[in-house]
Amino acid sequence: MASRKRARPADNGELDAAPSASKQVKTRHVAALILARGGSKGIPLKNIKMLAGVPLIGWVLRAALDSECFDSVWVSTDHDEIEKVAKAWGAKVHRRRPEVSKDSSTSLETIQEFIRFHKEVDVVCNIQATSPCLHPRHLKEALDMIKQQDFDSVFSVVRRHQFRWQEVKKGSGEPTKPLNLDPLNRPRRQDWDGELCENGSFYITGRELIEKGVLQGGKKISYYEMLPEHSVDIDVDIDWPVAEQRVLRYGYFGRETPEVVRLMFCKVSGCLTEGRIFLSMSGEEMLSINTRDTTGVRMLQKEEVEVVLLTSSEDPVAQSLAGKLAERTGCQVIEVGEEPMDDLNPMVEKRKLQWKDVAYMGNDKPDVNCLNRAGLSAVPGDAPVVAINAAKYTCHGIGGKGAMREFAEYILLQKQKGKSQMKQDRIDSSS
């Protein structure tokens, strides 16, 4: 379902004389800017904490980059780890100065500091790092309102149906008063349009207004309305589990996310095993596998996903385990070399598939190319950073302890989302 957007001109007093940010915008430099300070008090390093297998900031960076409507995409930060994550996701990094990295620093001050150092930027789209359900089309449609409709500033809102009351001091005995309703004539929800509230997802403004100290102003101000399911914000710890469920259902997972996965490759060592080798009294080497993971394999097979197990000649114990697992599940087992992509490409082509139709689970540097290429890819929670940065999903579970089951559930959730979207598309096309 498409977001609703409404354009509403608004007079703004003394700011009416401000020059339009949209004039000649096609020749202007439009930058996306995500503010990501390292000193979050509510949730330490919140901006790079994993949310549904992706660093929180990764959700909005993916949306901004895939929208292809910005000349540059920036993260303004004061923290080394945030800088590393931002660059891994394809953003440029602006190292903000200490004076705008304080608890008391405002977003406006930080944006003003950014444009002082980047004279090429004419229009800034300030995207909130804590809005993980943002989609590329939200940004494209909102920016079109500046480019094509001559609005000076555009910001995102959500429609709320909540009755508000005036606050009174505790113990004062003063009566409270309704702010947006008549208690004697309470409207039904379906009879009330509700109210538009800022959801903070983004603010698009021209340099001239920002320099004047304004994010929402000019001769023409417009809002862009987003649906409630896409208006997710994370502030404190209790927001996290709710946001995780929302983003799994309504988040943007990338252009190459398949509607249906046909083929899955899974490394045995490090994904189906935990990396430990057990020795028997006789000196025989043994590995264990978690029943949750074998259940995950069967879940995929039940949904007609072919699962192929990958082994290495350097790990004969894992090869032996894979053989026994193949007997129990019917999976094919193949041996791959230092670059698994070379061995797997022929299999993908033989099945007349593209890599966007493939899921891949790996756990280390040799898997990076496959993790990048696959439509859906994952690593266990204990994988090294080089693999985590390449994967589209990072499991909560570690190798050999349910990570495969978790990824299987994730794949099937994407399949369910794909079916729901196709159903909605048919409804939209027939209406």
**Helix or strand (DSSP H, E) at 69:** none
pLDDT of residue 423: 46
Of 6, 97, 186, 351, catalytic: 186
Is this prediction's pTM over 0.95? Answer: no
3-state percent helix, strand, coil for the chain, nearest multiple of 5: 40, 20, 40
Please give the Cα distance from 165 to 327 (Å, whole number): 66
Which pLDDT value is given to residue 282?
64
**pLDDT the model gives residue 419:** 56
Dump the DSSP string for 210-250. HHTT-SS-SS-EEEEEE-GGG-----STTHHHHHHHHHHHH
Residues contacting residue 134 through CB under 8 Å, at least 6 positions apart = 59, 60, 63, 127, 201, 202, 230, 252
Alpha helices in 136-290 (DSSP H): 136-147, 207-211, 239-250
pLDDT in tens, the chain (431 residues): 334 333 333 433 334 444 454 444 448 899 999 999 987 766 778 999 988 888 999 999 999 999 999 999 999 999 999 999 999 899 999 999 999 988 889 999 999 999 999 999 999 999 999 999 999 999 999 999 998 998 999 999 999 999 999 999 888 888 899 999 989 999 888 889 899 999 999 999 999 999 999 999 999 999 999 999 999 988 777 788 888 888 888 889 887 666 678 999 999 888 988 866 665 566 665 566 788 988 999 999 999 999 999 988 777 767 777 777 878 888 888 889 989 999 999 999 999 998 888 999 999 999 999 998 898 999 999 999 889 888 888 998 899 899 999 999 989 988 776 555 544 444 444 44
Model pLDDT, residue 287:
65
Using only C-alpha atoms, the chain has a radius of gyration, in whole angstroms, of: 25
pLDDT at 119 (0 to 100) = 96
Beta strands in 163-220 (DSSP E): 195-206
Complete domains list, the chain, with CATH: 13-166+190-250 (3.90.550.10), 263-419 (3.40.50.1000)
Query: Cβ-count burial of 175 within 10 angstroms (0-12 exposed, 13-18 middle, 19+ buried)?
Result: exposed
Catalytic, 373? Answer no
Supply φ then ψ for residue 57, to 5 degrees. -65, -25
